[in-house]
Amino acid sequence: MKKTALSGLTALTALFLSIVASAQIGSPYIHDPSTVVECDGKYYTFGTGSGGLISEDGWNWHSGGVRPGGGVAPDAIKIGDRYLVVYSTGNGSGLRYSSHVYAMWNKTLDPESPDFEYSEPMDLGGSNGYEDCDGIDPGLMMGPDGRLWLVYGTYFGYLRIRELDPKTAQPISEPVDVALSCEAGEMTYNDGWYYLLATHGTCCSGVNSTYEIIVGRSKSPTGPYVDNVGRDMIHGGGKLVLASEPRRIGAGHFGRFIVGKGIEKMSFHFEGDLDRSGRSVLAIRPLMWKDGWPVAGEPFENGEYSLVSERRGYALELAVNNVPMAGGMRGFNRNGDDNVVALEDQKLEDVIGTWPEGEISLRIGPELFRPHQAWEITEVPELGGFIGGAYCKITIAGTGRALAATAGKEIVTVPEFTGAPEQLWRIDRLTDGTYRIMPKSVPGTDEELVLVSVADSTPSLGVFNPDSDNSKWNLLKH
Amino acid sequence: MKRSFRILLLLALMAVTAVQVQAQKKNSKIDVAEALKGYFKPVTTPSATPDAEGFIRRWMILEPISKPNPTNRVFTDSYTRENLSVEYFPDQLTVLPKDGDKVKVTMEYQPPVNLSSNRPAARPQQDQPKFVKATLTWHALDSDHFFVKLFRFATGLDKDRYGVIFWTVTVINCEEDIENVRLAVGSNKAARWWVNGEEVLLLAGDRHMGVDSAVSDRVTLKKGKNILRGVTMNGPGMSEFCARFIDDTGKPVTGYTITCN
């Protein structure tokens, strides 16, 4: 009985850890989420049906968003000091594929705000029920030139794009067919290209869904959108961005959230989360760009890593004596008759006795895969998170010795992790695939500072510069 | 008196209406050209050529055979092979029908679905399928698009459009052997394809129609007639395919003509 209870507790703990290690926490249950939008320091997403999710930090989500109109698959965008929310619903004709997109403005998304009031819904057009289009799943994009675009449609025919007046949201162009056999469209612009992200596959079957996010790109907002092998999306083309990941099935309804230059996230849903009864859940992952194409980053994985500077390629290490390994130069001869044996890695117990007991400072040195360079990075979701991830503790593997920010805007290791804010680290995958490593707070300052290489051998804290390799790190799995 | 007159008038009107409805039913033969407008045209020329991108647009298409598939999850390899191996009509793997030819089939019954209805619901597991007999017609058609919109073929002819099987066949006429070509198909949904009687593709899974999403091993289109045959089965969504031959570099093969038989 006791053993059973213990096993149950262990299983529950394992389940909790598996959930929190790679998914939003709280109650992130939603289907067809709109692009995550920030409003007055909170994050919002709306889903099919009514209402939506709110998060204070982008990590812990709960219900509470308010969106009237019902219908399916909304989207939201901030334009100036207002928010435009679109959704779609049948237009009352009784035909299954007769659907229209509706738009509403609001000064805020916070239902507690005195300014919270949606405008009357405006009909943006859609489908008549007979044509090869189903006027649902709207997506909005503000182009780099200030032009506002709407995309809508499903597998029932074509995805269509039309221009809206950014002041009123009224349509100002006729719809153009741009893609076939996909749905949940979303447009975005990056570095000279317009991108159309959509989904192929079947939704709404939980863990048996086959939803997958695909993309094509064009030099014009009205297409043609072509994939990486030259196939037009109107010919069924599309480069895969994300289908599923371990334990989570059926990615769909892409949204792009730009944290800042060089730091982007993609919001979407998984149709079925195996760790949450197969329910549809909100997911937020790093969004990277490679060779002009969007790439979905994986969720952070706890483990033992080297923290390697992008500046020099050296590794963050304790400033301690380098203890030589046993053995040495075996000579220059090429005698193949010698016995060849595998030597063991240097172990923590071989060296830890040579380390000071209190705080130990840090430096950056050539990567040798030694214990003073081995960092255990572990999410501590119970201590909070940020958009797309939980804060981490960074400790020397096999010890409690933790990386911490200091009041002098430097870094140090302390003998034991205490959970103090300066010992919690936000790790963001950057759009180029490297990482930004930032303490939750730095004692004595409100400045947002990140781990930087101020010299080849010297780490410190400094202002993040997305254009400088001094601000970027790589995580090399041990 | 006045009331009696009204009743008589009503009965007379009902009788006339009944006769009109009956007459309409008798004259309810569908105008195929009108019904398929925007998607297909009846064949009016002796032969066609592939379009500039090599897509084959001329096909004989048999009206859909009902095979209820309430979800797209069912299209495993074995389900696809098994259900697209059922012999619904004689010589279905060899026949070269003419426009208007008819075949008699026995097929699984499903309630009619139209554009104002929801997709077909799954038959309760405890219920045994019911089978009905039907007479289906082959239609010689040229597609208006690079793809063949089977869903609209069925919709236009007022046939079942979800959970159905479409048999299609065409003839590729070559003046000389064309070696090392591949049949490239995009298929929504599951399908089997044959070239000159040899199966070259089995397309299972929850597929969408993408150009060249699957190709056959290299085949030779021989001098003279080559029979290209496909059978496509959908679930609760659209149904369409596109087909062309491509060479070793992926470029379309166009040096042939297309006839229905």
CA distance A251 to A214: 10
How far are the Cα atoms of A71, A209, A287 from residue B120, in angstroms, in the given order? 22, 18, 38
Tens of pLDDT, residues A257-279: 999 999 999 999 999 999 999 99
pLDDT value at residue A141: 98
Strand-pair category, A473-477 with B65-66: unpaired
- Rounded to a whole number of angstroms, the CA Rg of chain B reads 22
Structure token digits, residue A432: 């180029």
User: In terms of pLDDT, which residue wins out, A6 or A47?
Assistant: A47
Whether A180 and B73 lie within 8 Å, measured CB to CB: no
Query: Residue B163's closest CA among B205, B200, B134, B122?
Result: B122
pLDDT band for position A241 (50/70/90)? Answer: very high
DSSP tag of A207: G
Helix (H) or strand (E) segment spanning residue A21: helix A2-22
CA distance A254 to A250: 12
C-beta neighbour count of B73 within 10 angstroms: 16
Write the DSSP assignment of A344-381 as a string of letters.
PPPPHHHHGGGS-SS-B-EEEE-----GGG-EEEEE-G
pLDDT value at residue B116: 59
- ipTM associated with this complex: 0.83
- 3 state DSSP class of A6: helix
pLDDT value at residue B30: 76
CA quadruple A220, A222, A224, A229: dihedral positive or negative?
A: positive
pLDDT value at residue A210: 93
B211 in contact with A, Cβ within 8 Å: yes
Domains of chain B: 31-259 (2.60.120)
Helix (H) or strand (E) segment spanning residue A89: strand A82-90
Confirm if B28 and B229 have CB atoms less than 8 A apart. Answer: no
Tens of pLDDT, residues B23-57: 333 335 678 888 899 999 999 999 999 999 999 99
Whether B208 and A130 lie within 8 Å, measured CB to CB: no
Query: Residue A382's closest CA among A29, A53, A59, A63?
Result: A59
Tens of pLDDT, residues A92-131: 677 788 899 999 999 999 999 999 999 999 999 999 888 9
- Strand-pairing partners, residue A474, are A308
C-beta neighbour count of B26 within 10 angstroms: 8
A357-361 long-range Cβ contacts below 8 angstroms, 24+ apart = A357/A415, A358/A415, A359/A412, A359/A413, A359/A414, A359/A415, A360/A318, A360/A319, A360/A320, A360/A401, A360/A412, A360/A413, A361/A318, A361/A319, A361/A412, A361/A413
What is the nearest CA distance from A180 to chain B, expressed in angstroms? 8
Mean pLDDT calculated for residue range A54-66: 96
pLDDT value at residue A18: 45
A181 contact residues in B (CB cutoff 8 A): 188, 208-210, 238, 240
Whether B208 and A182 lie within 8 Å, measured CB to CB: yes
- Strand-pairing partners, residue B169, are B60, B229
Tens of pLDDT, residues A354-391: 999 999 999 999 999 999 999 999 999 999 999 999 99
Confirm if A281 and A28 have CB atoms less than 8 A apart. Answer: yes
Residue A344: pLDDT above 80? yes
| Residues with Cβ within 8 Å of residue B166, at least 6 apart in sequence | B61, B62, B64, B65, B150, B153, B154, B231, B232, B233, B239
pLDDT exceeding 90 applies to what percent of chain A?
86
pLDDT band for position B7 (50/70/90)? Answer: very low
pLDDT exceeding 70 applies to what percent of chain A?
94
The mean of the pLDDT values for chain A is: 93
Query: Residue A316's closest CA among A417, A461, A449?
Result: A461
Tens of pLDDT, residues B160-204: 999 999 999 999 999 999 999 999 999 999 999 999 999 999 999
Write the DSSP assignment of B1-62 as a string of letters.
-HHHHHHHHHHHHHHHHHHHHHHHHHT----HHHHTTTTEEE--SS-B---TT-B--EEEEE
A228 contact residues in B (CB cutoff 8 A): none
Tens of pLDDT, residues A276-330: 999 999 999 999 999 999 999 999 999 999 999 999 999 999 999 989 987 776 7
Whether B115 and A130 lie within 8 Å, measured CB to CB: yes
What is the nearest CA distance from A405 to chain B, expressed in angstroms? 51
Chosen from A91, A181, A232 to mutate, greatest number of chain B CBs within 10 A = A181
Instruction: Give the closest of A182, A210, A235 to B206, CB-based.
Output: A210
Tens of pLDDT, residues B113-124: 665 555 555 566
CA distance A67 to A32: 14
Residue A474: pLDDT above 90? yes
A230 contact residues in B (CB cutoff 8 A): none
How far are the Cα atoms of A311, A317, A455, A456 from residue A459, in angstroms, in the given order? 11, 10, 7, 8
Structure token digits, residue A377: 């990075």
pLDDT band for position B110 (50/70/90)? Answer: confident
Instruction: Give the closest of A156, A201, A231 to B238, CB-based.
Output: A156
pLDDT value at residue A415: 98
Q: Annotate A349-371 with b (16+ C-beta within 10 A) or e (fewer).
A: eebbeebeeeebebbbbebeebb
Chosen from B115, B155, B188, B241 to mutate, greatest number of chain A CBs within 10 A = B115
pLDDT value at residue A335: 72
B254 in contact with A, Cβ within 8 Å: no
Confirm if B204 and B221 have CB atoms less than 8 A apart. Answer: no
CA distance B220 to A90: 51
Residue A7: pLDDT above 80? no
Residue A69: pLDDT above 90? yes
